[in-house]
Amino acid sequence: MSKLWGGRFNKKSDWLADQFTFSISYDHRLAKYDVIGSIAHARMLSKQGIIPKGDSAKIVAGLKKILLQIETDKFKFDPKAEDIHTDIQNRLKFFIGKPADKLHTARSRNDQVVLDMKLYCRDEIAKLVAAITYLQKEILEFANKNKDVIIPAYTHLQAAQVVLLSHHMLAYIEMLERDKTRLFDCANRTDFMPLGSCALSGTSLKTDRVYLASLLGFSQVAANSMDVVSDRDFIVELIGDCAMITTHLSRVAEDLILWATKEFDLVDIDSSFCTGSSIMPHKKNPDVLELVRGSSAKVTGLLAQIHVLLKGLPLTYNRDLQLDKPALFDSVDTAKNVLLVLSKIFASMEVKKGNAAQRVLDESFFTVDVMDYLVKKGVSNRDAHDILGKMVRECLDQGRPLSSLSLGELKQYSLLFGADVKKLFNPQMSVKIKSSLGSTNPNLVAQQLNQWSKKLNA
Amino acid sequence: MSKLWGGRFNKKSDWLADQFTFSISYDHRLAKYDVIGSIAHARMLSKQGIIPKGDSAKIVAGLKKILLQIETDKFKFDPKAEDIHTDIQNRLKFFIGKPADKLHTARSRNDQVVLDMKLYCRDEIAKLVAAITYLQKEILEFANKNKDVIIPAYTHLQAAQVVLLSHHMLAYIEMLERDKTRLFDCANRTDFMPLGSCALSGTSLKTDRVYLASLLGFSQVAANSMDVVSDRDFIVELIGDCAMITTHLSRVAEDLILWATKEFDLVDIDSSFCTGSSIMPHKKNPDVLELVRGSSAKVTGLLAQIHVLLKGLPLTYNRDLQLDKPALFDSVDTAKNVLLVLSKIFASMEVKKGNAAQRVLDESFFTVDVMDYLVKKGVSNRDAHDILGKMVRECLDQGRPLSSLSLGELKQYSLLFGADVKKLFNPQMSVKIKSSLGSTNPNLVAQQLNQWSKKLNA
Amino acid sequence: MSKLWGGRFNKKSDWLADQFTFSISYDHRLAKYDVIGSIAHARMLSKQGIIPKGDSAKIVAGLKKILLQIETDKFKFDPKAEDIHTDIQNRLKFFIGKPADKLHTARSRNDQVVLDMKLYCRDEIAKLVAAITYLQKEILEFANKNKDVIIPAYTHLQAAQVVLLSHHMLAYIEMLERDKTRLFDCANRTDFMPLGSCALSGTSLKTDRVYLASLLGFSQVAANSMDVVSDRDFIVELIGDCAMITTHLSRVAEDLILWATKEFDLVDIDSSFCTGSSIMPHKKNPDVLELVRGSSAKVTGLLAQIHVLLKGLPLTYNRDLQLDKPALFDSVDTAKNVLLVLSKIFASMEVKKGNAAQRVLDESFFTVDVMDYLVKKGVSNRDAHDILGKMVRECLDQGRPLSSLSLGELKQYSLLFGADVKKLFNPQMSVKIKSSLGSTNPNLVAQQLNQWSKKLNA
Amino acid sequence: MSKLWGGRFNKKSDWLADQFTFSISYDHRLAKYDVIGSIAHARMLSKQGIIPKGDSAKIVAGLKKILLQIETDKFKFDPKAEDIHTDIQNRLKFFIGKPADKLHTARSRNDQVVLDMKLYCRDEIAKLVAAITYLQKEILEFANKNKDVIIPAYTHLQAAQVVLLSHHMLAYIEMLERDKTRLFDCANRTDFMPLGSCALSGTSLKTDRVYLASLLGFSQVAANSMDVVSDRDFIVELIGDCAMITTHLSRVAEDLILWATKEFDLVDIDSSFCTGSSIMPHKKNPDVLELVRGSSAKVTGLLAQIHVLLKGLPLTYNRDLQLDKPALFDSVDTAKNVLLVLSKIFASMEVKKGNAAQRVLDESFFTVDVMDYLVKKGVSNRDAHDILGKMVRECLDQGRPLSSLSLGELKQYSLLFGADVKKLFNPQMSVKIKSSLGSTNPNLVAQQLNQWSKKLNA
């Protein structure tokens, strides 16, 4: 098939060079966007009288035919086409003949590919947002289903205090919400229409880029033609957003992998998301969660890659930029897949309530509450800390629980201890007495669950 | 010096462990923010009756004394203190005695350090924004000073078309403007007050986090205590923003390094930003620009680092997170330095106007204009491309310039060529006839320069 | 198709989980190695009497049939198979029935996949070494073809001194030679036979791993079963070696991209490795070289990825490790492709000798030679440097070449200058007088070219 | 202080540029190597008659004085010196006057800095090797101390089989041994003497680089002057080796962090390597191990950084390369520190033998042994797997241990079961019956321990 730039060359390109430079194997994913952009472009060209209305009508009709083929999976990509733009151009020529030669007026592949990529990003950002919302809902559902379950919470992977499982789940929802707002910001920064910048300097043809922007649903026109064809910020930013999502989810996966061990034993991951061992019949391995965790490695690597790619490139377009596409596609696909599969895991996961109830009886979880008991009676935080430290150490040494201390013994640590302190050695009490905004207090958590329910189902 | 958590342990920590874990060598940069946070915290505690007003007053007075020392560089950091929080706590105790023991009530180092980091980020984002604006202004000034200079512009590092140097400069300003908006978004996402989340679950003491937020200038209170002490999104995002800035500037530096070669010879970097060779007396090396370019490597590495750091960490706080600080500090410092030094380079750089004027006479720059000439006469873009391709190849083969073609010869390529096509072989004409929005047309560029001048000096 | 571990589970796996965990889309590349490993395994099992000789014979015959299918591209991979091991196991069962069930004795997929990967690495390292040698030969050929051409050499992208182009080419050959030795070292470290470690603890069946190693061409048996199934060092190292190769080649590509600009104009990249512009008919863009440069970004990203993947994984096998495969395959493919395409570029590239000859007349290239002239007469290096610095500056200010200085004028800078100094302002002389080992002296360079010719063709 | 290249410039460098380019703040660590290199250089220069013997003697004496100052920490680095080479040159001039001006003959900072870096790497590789050996010894000691302890071993973080703790420890020793051999390979590849390549082309002065190599303990002379001043392979490789070490140790740290949880509860990290909580008196956090884990993020980031730095740099020296130093220093320091601190942790860590003994009673650990029991009796692995899968599922459903199955019940699963199968439900038996090379069999493990003891103490 002919190339778009053959005229000047008197020699065919090397087949190895072709193989090395051809991008159709991945940029075929832009096909739909390329056609949509071209339809708008043809309309603008005829509105401005740059090409005849009749030619434009044929071009648009031909492109719509191609679009239908693409959307119904009937478009056969030509592996011998250099890239998707060439493939579509060739097809259009095949369908409508000569008028097709007028489409590539007042534009260049440099601005065309940026347009395609921005349209892709716009769509995919919407899908990512939907996937995040879907996961948030499943987490919320899981939280609501296990509203009253109390579990140990960890710092340094050492069980520290008790919290409502639903409170822990709300932390995930918050993380994901930030990811969503980052995507919105990225969408806003992508919302500048690039087409018509041509190779780099604009054109002497009387185009109407504002009209193009309105046809294509952009709210602004990119202001500098050299910037537009060099700029890959929107791709870096979207990969960065995907990296944050997958890094977040690697942490969620780690929590669940730990909880699913025999040792922590707090949840049961549904068998449909586990696999077995080829040699150990008793194993039930959380493979899917491990792959979720590992996926963050991929996107972190891709984020590094896109920066390396751009580093030190002179303005304006350089062919290196072609490699931004597989990096972006892979990042977005990975993030979407991970969000989706994790949603399913939350939807089918069971809490081992009995085990949780057993675990939260450990009295060391309540020492902070006892400290605050003393603080409320006027003891300084430092002194309260020292008192509790001494109590804990001595009880550990004697192998007895804190609650076994008699009132008399307690008073040897502090005369301010009353009998009521004993009520604190209780997980339900521990969450109930928390009162600060954002704390694990059941009423506050319930409010949060309600608010999220409204927000996510709005 | 004593540690904040000594009570429970009956053994001193290993000196090697101390060395390995102590963070004072870098987190002393948070000193100011730590004190500001503690002053607000003390006020809140006394307003809520959690500690006596008298104690609070002493604490605030002591902290103000420390703040003054810090701001006047008189605070001697104690290398034996575990971290900056401990150092300041110890100093406060030294100054005011017993009441100091009440400060660390209803908070933990987990939420305290997040607060310090957020206050640091808020300040540094403002400084980065100012540094970007400063660089934009210097670039604008440089563009205005050389408003009418026309230079070759490149794709694939092959000179492609001619543009106004000022148009090229506006591309840089656009890139930097996007960097600025990213910083604003990051600031918004950082604007959630973390203090009072305590270790992870909140507190049973009757705190007022909304009041704390208002004292500290946050517009919102972070909604989930477990999320807050685990969340390092704002750090990842700020490092990411710095990486985008330095990647951008690596491209600007590459342009200037190329322009400063004897071969391109378009600009003269001021000697005060170059260095010489220890062995070749004639060399004038653009070292500073090379380091600007290299700096992007550092921040890209740090961006990878922060993702690796977070990958797979279970909730909530883990000590690994300590290492977020040097990564962030180094990223922000590097971005600020690079912005500043590049501003100075633009302020002192000279354009070699004679060379530029010579270079833009190359007629191959005007082929697109000739193509568009034919398109305007109704030739399809494809045919026009082929016609020009043939003309270029044949002229190259015969070693003659395009402009040497007689009207008769031109008409052999296309009968539509008229004598007026000869006017197109001229750089001033080439920029002047461009008319599309965002193009290098002198009037449009002048408008842009004016708008930026207003915006940046607003 | 059935899974290898179905027995314990009473529920089918989720189709999304299947999609997410299935690796057959990429690990089919291990098919050949999987079969080779299994053939050796079956032989060992029967030699040790663990399975009957008859069963072993049937297994080996079945596997050989599969191997033939794979090697003749007739093996249809089953997209519904979980992974390549399962696919082959199922096929074997289909071919030979019941005896197939005995193959997976005394091994696990954990050690099996490590074996497959090591066999793959061994083959690919050999291919990479061959590809490096091929590129070295093409560079050597190019150097020999242009043996006497002198070009400017650069530090800081400022032309510094003149060198033989062939000397410059030898630098590339040295870089590549180091890459080769790194691959040899990696091969040595990979040369430990993993099979028979089973899931993690070894087996109670009486295997003979030494025999297995000899069948499979390994010189040593891996010494610790837990290490083996966790270890991905050989993958990290091979990706690292590929990253070094592509980073090296990004530098070579940058040199050539620069030399191919109109401004440097030292080489002509063959059109078959360039592409044109869709809008600028005169452009000849070094796209392939730009993609070579950009490829280093990919492999650098993959190197970061594999470290992130491994970071913090507890022993022994975790499913995250599955993701090592696409990262390795992509790294190796990229390195091989880049080596190959660059070989072709060197094979077809022409030097613009006239331009080179013109460029090296610039007298500033010879100042170091003049300095050394003075040093040989007893002037200290420092004084010689200062004398030349003054000469250069004053000549620049007066716009005259150094060679235009009369002997009288020269003697005003140093009385030690004689008439013979004028001979130094000559590129041929400049390379000829260099005498240090490794320098650009034509005789020394010729020796190097000869030595490499012998070594590479050995 | 004066710069080495002042002569040509008529303008002082900008203070900001100075700040930005000065490297003395980190390259002062090369001081010792710079002096050692210069001493050898001065000797070679006088041996060759390039500088007078008297001057050389004074230079050497002056440098030795400086070396003594450096080694006794009495050398005050001049923050106003551009770099360490300048600082030392200035000091030498101060000490010995005029003859100092002859030192910088027949070399350039380009080759000088590579020499310094190679000498640094040689020393640091030796230190890293020693630190690895030290850690291996401590792990071995720990293994020997707990030789007979049996623990659960994990795949997918699901307890899978039982192994000797000492077997698990040997896996760490193997990992570290590979790290050591990588360092040896890196040392070999670094062992090419660079000095005398000068800026890039060699010199016309009659130097003796072979003599230089012998004085400096290099076994070979670098063969190409352009390669030498551009080459940073040895730095990339050493950072890569450090990254592998820290990635390895992140895995070791993760194991120990898990084992130190209340849930796994297999080891007691000595308090001297833990810290407490400022608010939860009962916590004992494995902070040092968390920082070990986090350190891998730093070095992975630095590895990415060095590749980004080099990407696309044209030959030969570019100032970007200055930034290789902090990246290398930080990588090496981090790896050494992590190795050392982990050694101390192993030296003081206690195994909770009672807990371990309790944990390994879980009968599901022995199912593979039971499978192999059937395999030994002729059952195919597949059938054995299915039999065990059924047994496990049904016992789980009925909530009874496998060992509670009567012989009659066992025979319902397979008639081949005899009474002797009951002996297999025992952790001591499980490790004892393993017999394959590299397995957890106590005799084989003991052999390994002995061999390592001999090797590490050789």
pLDDT tens-digit profile of B38-47? 999 999 999 9
Residue A163 DSSP SS3: strand
Residue A204 DSSP SS3: coil
Instruction: For residue B186, give the nearest of B27, B337, B328, B73 by alpha carbon.
Output: B328
Across chain C, which has 458 residues, the per-10-residue mean pLDDT values are 51 80 88 98 98 98 98 92 92 97 95 98 98 98 97 96 98 98 98 96 97 98 97 98 98 98 96 75 85 97 98 96 97 97 97 97 92 96 91 87 93 96 96 98 98 96
Contacts of C306 in chain A (CB under 8 A): 297, 301
A95 within a domain of the structure (yes/no): yes
Which chains share 3+ C-beta pairs under 8 angstroms with D?
A, B, C
Residue type at D338? V
Residues comprising chain C, all counted: 458
Same domain, B35 and B122: no
Minimum-distance CB partner of B311 among C264, C311, C367:
C311
Q: How far apart are CA C334 and CA C355, in angstroms?
A: 34
Candidates C13, C201, C219, C277; catalytic one? C277
Contact yes or no for C222/C193 (Cβ under 8 A): yes
Beta carbons of B103 and A156 less than 8 Å apart: no
C337 within a domain of the structure (yes/no): yes
Cα three-residue angle A108-A112-A113, rounded to 5 degrees: 120
Instruction: Name which of C212, C436, C447 to mutate to probe chain D: the one with the most chain D Cβ atoms within 10 A of its Cβ.
Output: C436
Same domain, A346 and A444: no
Q: Which residues pair with C192 in a beta bridge?
A: C220
Q: How far apart are CA D326 and CA D314, in angstroms?
A: 22
- Does B2 score more than 70 pLDDT? no
Predicted local distance difference test score (pLDDT) of residue A167: 98
Q: How many CB pairs under 8 A join A and C?
A: 216
Ramachandran area for residue C105 (φ above 0: left; ψ -120 to 50: alpha; else beta) = beta
Q: How far is D195 from chain B (nearest CA, A)?
A: 14
Instruction: For residue D294, give the nearest of D347, D350, D237, D246 by alpha carbon.
Output: D246
Q: How far apart are CA B394 and CA B413, in angstroms?
A: 11
Q: Kindly indicate the confidence band of residue B280, based on its pLDDT and cuts at 50, 70 and 90.
A: low
B186 within a domain of the structure (yes/no): yes
Predicted local distance difference test score (pLDDT) of residue D20: 84
Instruction: List D residues 285-314 in contact with A (Cβ-Cβ < 8 A).
Output: 285-287, 290, 304, 307-308, 311-312
Same domain, C68 and C20: yes
D110 within a domain of the structure (yes/no): no
DSSP class of D3: -
DSSP line for C54-111? HHHHHHHHHHHHHHHHHHTT-----TTSSSHHHHHHHHHHHHH-GGGGGTTSS--HHH
Residue at a domain's end among B342, B358, B374: B358
Same domain, D190 and D332: yes
Same domain, D266 and D378: no
Backbone angles phi, psi at C150, to 5 degrees: -105, 135
Minimum-distance CB partner of C158 among B283, B367, B385:
B283
Instruction: For residue A310, give the nearest of D60, D274, B251 by alpha carbon.
Output: B251
Same domain, C168 and C311: yes
Q: How far is C293 from chain D (nearest CA, A)?
A: 6
Asked if the C-beta of B279 comes within 8 angstroms of chain C's C-beta atoms, the answer is yes
Q: Please tell me which residue of chain C has the smallest CA distance to A203.
A: C279
Task: Give me the number of domains chain C comprises.
Answer: 3
Q: How far apart are CA A30 and CA A119, in angstroms?
A: 9
Instruction: For residue C332, give the nearest of C161, C170, C123, C160 by alpha carbon.
Output: C123
Beta carbons of B375 and A171 less than 8 Å apart: no
Residue type at C199? A
Contact yes or no for B186/B237 (Cβ under 8 A): yes
A321 within a domain of the structure (yes/no): yes
Predicted local distance difference test score (pLDDT) of residue A393: 83
Backbone angles phi, psi at B220, to 5 degrees: -140, 160
- Does B7 score more than 60 pLDDT? no
Angle between helices D84-96 and D53-71 (to 10 degrees): 120
Instruction: Name which of A251, A273, A279, A363 to mutate to probe chain D: the one with the most chain D Cβ atoms within 10 A of its Cβ.
Output: A279
pLDDT tens digits for range B333-374:
999 999 999 999 999 999 999 999 999 999 889 999 999 999
Candidates C156, C204, C272, C282; catalytic one? C156
Predicted local distance difference test score (pLDDT) of residue A284: 85
Same domain, D263 and D351: yes
Beta carbons of B278 and D108 less than 8 Å apart: yes
| CATH code of B42's domain | 1.10.275.10
Q: How far is A397 from chain D (nearest CA, A)?
A: 13
Contact yes or no for C5/A278 (Cβ under 8 A): yes
Beta carbons of C156 and B262 less than 8 Å apart: no
Asked if the C-beta of D428 comes within 8 angstroms of chain C's C-beta atoms, the answer is no
B6 within a domain of the structure (yes/no): no
Beta carbons of B254 and A314 less than 8 Å apart: yes
Q: How far apart are CA D100 and CA D91, in angstroms?
A: 9
Q: How far is CA B377 from the centre of its chain?
A: 47
Predicted local distance difference test score (pLDDT) of residue B1: 38
Q: How many CB pairs under 8 A join B and D?
A: 218
Same domain, C288 and C389: no
DSSP line for B227-250? HHHH--HHHHHHHHHHHHHHHHHH
- Does B11 score more than 90 pLDDT? no
Beta carbons of C304 and A300 less than 8 Å apart: yes
Instruction: For residue D117, give the nearest of D78, D81, D83 by alpha carbon.
Output: D83
- Does B422 score more than 70 pLDDT? yes
| CATH code of B174's domain | 1.20.200.10
Contact yes or no for D10/B271 (Cβ under 8 A): yes
Q: How far apart are CA A410 and CA A423, in angstroms?
A: 14
Asked if the C-beta of C429 comes within 8 angstroms of chain A's C-beta atoms, the answer is no
Q: Please tell me which residue of chain D has the smallest CA distance to A279.
A: D368
Q: How far is CA D244 from the centre of its chain?
A: 6
| CATH code of C367's domain | 1.10.40.30
Residue at a domain's end among B83, B105, B127: B105
Beta strands at A192-193 and D158-164: parallel, antiparallel or unpaired: unpaired
CB-neighbour burial class of residue D419 (10 A; exposed 0-12, middle 13-18, buried 19+): exposed
Same domain, C137 and C203: yes
Would you say the C-alpha torsion B325, B331, B337, B340 has a positive or negative sign?
negative
Predicted local distance difference test score (pLDDT) of residue A152: 97
Contacts of A310 in chain B (CB under 8 A): 247, 250-251
Asked if the C-beta of D21 comes within 8 angstroms of chain B's C-beta atoms, the answer is yes
Q: How far apart are CA C196 and CA C115, in angstroms?
A: 10
Residue at a domain's end among A322, A339, A358: A358
Beta carbons of C319 and D156 less than 8 Å apart: yes
Q: Please tell me which residue of chain D has the smallest CA distance to C305.
A: D300
Helix, strand, coil content of chain D in percent (nearest 5): 65, 5, 30
Contacts of D375 in chain C (CB under 8 A): 50, 105-106, 205
Q: What is the pTM of this model?
A: 0.97
Instruction: List C residues 388-417 in contact with B (Cβ-Cβ < 8 A).
Output: 388-389, 391-392
B286 within a domain of the structure (yes/no): yes
Could you list the pLDDT tens digit for every one of the 458 residues in chain A?
345 555 555 567 788 888 888 888 888 999 999 999 999 999 999 999 999 999 999 999 999 999 999 999 999 999 888 899 999 999 999 999 999 999 999 999 999 999 999 999 999 999 999 999 999 999 999 999 999 999 999 999 999 999 999 999 999 999 999 999 999 999 999 999 999 999 999 999 999 999 999 999 999 999 999 999 999 999 999 999 999 999 999 999 999 999 999 999 999 999 899 987 655 655 789 999 999 999 999 999 999 999 999 999 999 999 999 999 999 999 999 999 999 999 999 999 999 999 999 999 999 899 999 999 999 999 999 999 999 988 888 888 898 988 999 999 999 999 999 999 999 999 999 999 999 999 999 999 999 999 999 999 98
Residue type at C369? D
Instruction: Name which of C150, C224, C370, C383 to mutate to probe chain D: the one with the most chain D Cβ atoms within 10 A of its Cβ.
Output: C224
Predicted local distance difference test score (pLDDT) of residue B392: 84
Same domain, C30 and C95: yes
In this prediction, the answer to ipTM > 0.90 reads yes
DSSP class of A116: H
Same domain, B228 and B252: yes
Q: How far is A339 from chain B (nearest CA, A)?
A: 16
pLDDT tens digits for range B120-164:
999 999 999 999 999 999 999 999 999 999 999 999 999 999 999
Could you list the pLDDT tens digit for every one of the 458 residues in chain D?
345 555 455 567 788 888 888 888 888 999 999 999 999 999 999 999 999 999 999 999 999 999 999 999 999 999 888 899 999 999 999 999 999 999 999 999 999 999 999 999 999 999 999 999 999 999 999 999 999 999 999 999 999 999 999 999 999 999 999 999 999 999 999 999 999 999 999 999 999 999 999 999 999 999 999 999 999 999 999 999 999 999 999 999 999 999 999 999 999 999 899 987 655 655 789 999 999 999 999 999 999 999 999 999 999 999 999 999 999 999 999 999 999 999 999 999 999 999 999 999 998 899 999 999 999 999 999 999 999 988 888 888 898 988 999 999 999 999 999 999 999 999 999 999 999 999 999 999 999 999 999 999 98
Q: Identify the domain containing residue B181 by its residue range.
A: 115-358
Beta carbons of C210 and D250 less than 8 Å apart: no
Would you say the C-alpha torsion A309, A310, A313, A316 has a positive or negative sign?
positive
Q: How far is D308 from chain A (nearest CA, A)?
A: 6
Cα three-residue angle A242-A20-C256, rounded to 5 degrees: 100
Instruction: For residue A41, give the nearest of A51, A31, A29, A30 by alpha carbon.
Output: A51
Predicted local distance difference test score (pLDDT) of residue A41: 98
Beta carbons of A281 and C198 less than 8 Å apart: no
Instruction: Name which of C236, C263, C309 to mutate to probe chain B: the one with the most chain B Cβ atoms within 10 A of its Cβ.
Output: C263
Q: Please tell me which residue of chain B has the smallest CA distance to C372.
A: B279
Instruction: Name which of C250, C257, C275, C282 to mutate to probe chain B: the one with the most chain B Cβ atoms within 10 A of its Cβ.
Output: C282
Q: Is the peptide bond preceding residue A105 cis, with omega within 30 degrees of 0?
A: no
Beta carbons of A311 and D311 less than 8 Å apart: yes
C6 within a domain of the structure (yes/no): no
Same domain, C212 and C243: yes
pLDDT tens digits for range B289-347:
999 999 999 999 999 999 999 999 999 999 999 999 999 999 999 999 999 999 999 99
Q: How far is C321 from chain D (nearest CA, A)?
A: 10
Beta carbons of C154 and D313 less than 8 Å apart: no
Predicted local distance difference test score (pLDDT) of residue C364: 87
Beta carbons of B273 and D17 less than 8 Å apart: yes
CB-neighbour burial class of residue C196 (10 A; exposed 0-12, middle 13-18, buried 19+): buried
Beta carbons of B224 and A438 less than 8 Å apart: yes
Candidates D2, D13, D277, D380; catalytic one? D277
Contact yes or no for C216/D163 (Cβ under 8 A): no
Q: How far apart are CA C136 and CA D34, in angstroms?
A: 34
Beta carbons of C272 and A297 less than 8 Å apart: no
Contact yes or no for C104/C4 (Cβ under 8 A): yes
